[in-house]
Structure 1
């Protein structure tokens, strides 16, 4: 009997402790914050890709210049 009461109390307490997390996923503030984070992440990725492309262009230009000077 006490074992089943212990299991029931653990279930009830865990439900009470985790319920704010479940509610946070549905709140407008949570959705807005996630959208803002996604936007910032996309900007960082775009910036990184453009910097990487510029680095590749510079490397290609340097390789072309090196090839031209060797000829």
Structure 2
């Protein structure tokens, strides 16, 4: 449950959709030592998804052009 809370905190901070009251309540109850590790992991996951989508689109358009 704590890991899911950390993921929610990180994702909401990436997209900037937090209310001040929920932000303060979450930071009062979490382990701040694990937060940077979860943030780096989530950033790598988001980057991998973006890279995969772009790679898939680039691969499919290059085969349509006949090169």
TM-score (norm 1): 0.48
Q: How does 1:12-51 map to 2 (within 5 A)?
A: 26-51=30-55
Gaps of 5+ in 1: 1-21, 66-71
- The runs of at least 4 aligned residues of structure 1 exceeding 3 Å deviation read none
Structure with more contact order per residue of length (Cα contacts < 8 Å, sep ≥ 6): 2
TM-score (norm 2): 0.50
Can you list the C-alpha shifts for 1:14-71, whole angstroms capped at 9, x where unaligned? Answer: xxxxxxxx6xx72112122111100011111111111111101111112xx8xxxxxx
**What SS does structure 1 have at the residue aligned with 2:33?**
helix
Number of aligned residue pairs: 41
Gaps of 5+ in 2: 7-29
